[in-house]
Structure 1
Amino acid sequence: MKMSHLFIATTLTTVLLGADSYAHNKHQGHIKAPMSPSVDPEFDIVHAKVITQGSHLIFQQAVAGKVGGKQPEKNGQLAGAGVYSYVWPTSLNSSAVGFEADQGILSLALTIHPDFDDTPLYDEDGDGNKSNDGDKWHSHWVVLVPDDACGKGALKVKDIAQGTSPKLPITWPKLPLFIDSPGFDFSLEKSEVLVRVPLSSLGFPENFSFDGVTAGLKINQQVHAPLLCVTNVFDIASGDLSLPGKSQ
């Protein structure tokens, strides 16, 4: 079923309550947010934007503190493993990046998780082993959907139901999730997070709506559906997840 912008905004507002972010000012398609003293400065969003720069789309978040220095505590196993993420929920259809159409909320994410590696095509630390890099920041496209099994009103990365074969991107990491590991270039410098998405990799219109979120996720202790739940929202750029940003 096709998900409207209103459905996306309503769903996200419902499932991500608790983030300490309030009124915002929108300017030229960007989202400007107030500082939130109760949020870790590393995840306290003050600005978010998506702009076209040459042959790339640049997804940006600026935070109150220094970015990229924290990661979840190492768990020692996949069950219960934690994930930190800078996320850009969008109004784009899931088909825009190679997933089956109309699957949920297509979101770009920059993540880190020391207990598992979900980028099997890339060797982020250059040590010759492509399966030990989860503790390095890396990019994903994910499809988010609500699932009360993650907690009342919570979101998860959508599971691929057993016995089904949906359309998936060519860089899908062979996990039973609607997740893609495209290996986009990014930077984490001072207070700014940037992810560079090649326009040539995309099949979506130039303009779309977006928001900015910082969040913690966790692998289910039973390591089955729901496999990866959003368990903690640190901040929301718009304050209400109405996706007010406009790509440029």
Structure 2
Amino acid sequence: MKHSLFACAALTALTASAGAHPVNSPQDTSVDPAFDITRVTATTDGRLVTFMMEVAGVAGSVTPEPTGQLAGANVEAYVWPTNLDPAVVGFDAGSGTLALAITAHPDFDDTPLFDENGDGDPANDGAGWHSHWVVLTADEACGAGLKVRDVSPGQDLLPATAPYLPIALDSPGMSPVIDGHLAQITVPLADGESVSFDGVTASLHVNDAGTAPLLCVSGVHDIASGDLSLPGVIMASEPH
């Protein structure tokens, strides 16, 4: 993997950076092409924000090998960290870095309100690519120094569509578009213009013992900016 550790100082810095939009990233032959980021962008019409990530290979073509259970399960993810406060989508204010993620994990279903594979059973999904809002925080116990924040449902604030796992994860049901080199997701987000963001491809791992830290970032494939400085800026989309 290109990066084994996030820069925690950059992750916890929630001030907007004055970088350019979009963020272009050089190809790296040491990274699996499915996760080798070449470009990330984000645009808004004032009501909806569309986040896009281009990779050198075929987006979504690599998924985790199943383990057969939640404990010890693996996750692959295309992620857009932002400088938005987690309270914007219903988490505790100031509780970490709010990130939008497109993930796949064949061993558990964390979208109980939605039937992604369309088979009539909303409880057997997860293997296909789907979306989440997550809150990331630093934890040295994790391989990449980061985790999805551990929470206590009923005590910590969670969005109405959260699956009530003991982590800061929401499953709002926006469907990603995975096509060729592109991974794309559109989300409702008012006043998104000028929000800062970055692009990351990463692997995550559920704690083998099923205890905290429950969901660690175990390794990073690529970071669009190289240093997680959030140089991207959400721009107004061009009128049609």
Query: What TM bracket, shorter-length normalisation?
Result: 0.7 to 0.9
SS of the aligned residue for 2:91 comes to coil
Answer yes or no: is the 8 Å Cα contact 2:199–2:225 preserved in 1.
Answer: yes
Query: Which sections of structure 2, spanning at least 5 residues, go unmatched?
Result: 1-6, 13-18, 236-240
Which residue of the other structure, out of 177, 181, 184, is the alignment partner of 2:171? Answer: 181
Q: TM-score, normalised by structure 2?
A: 0.88
Partner residue, 1:228 = 215
Answer yes or no: is the 8 Å Cα contact 1:156–1:230 preserved in 2.
Answer: yes
Structure 1 residue 193 corresponds to structure 2 residue 180: no
Number of residue pairs aligned between Structure 1 and Structure 2: 223
Give the Cα–Cα distance (whole angstroms) in 2 for the partners of residues 243 and 82 of structure 1. Answer: 26
Q: Deviations over 1:21-60 (max 9, x none)?
A: xxxxx64x21011001100000000000110147421000
Structure 1 residue 215 corresponds to structure 2 residue 185: no
Partner residue, 1:154 = 145
Structure 1 residue 86 corresponds to structure 2 residue 78: yes
Answer yes or no: is the 8 Å Cα contact 2:192–2:234 preserved in 1.
Answer: no
SS of the aligned residue for 1:109 comes to strand
Residues 1-248 of structure 1 mapped to structure 2, 5 A cutoff: 10-12=9-11, 27=20, 29-53=21-45, 55-151=47-143, 154-161=145-152, 165-199=155-189, 202=190, 205-248=192-235
Answer yes or no: is the 8 Å Cα contact 1:91–1:209 preserved in 2.
Answer: yes
Question: Where has structure 1 moved over 4 Å in runs of 4 or more?
Answer: none
Give the Cα–Cα distance (whole angstroms) in 2 for the partners of residues 125 and 57 of structure 1. Answer: 25
Please report the RMSD computed on the Cα atoms of aligned residues, expressed in angstroms: 1.8
What's the % identity of the aligned pairs? 52
Query: Which sections of structure 1, spanning at least 5 residues, go unmatched?
Result: 1-7, 14-25
- Report the alpha carbon displacement of residue 198 of structure 1 after superposing the two structures with TM: 2.1
AA paired with 1:245? Answer: G
Q: TM-score, normalised by structure 1?
A: 0.85
Give the Cα–Cα distance (whole angstroms) in 1 for the partners of residues 222 and 53 of structure 2. Answer: 11
AA paired with 1:236? Answer: I
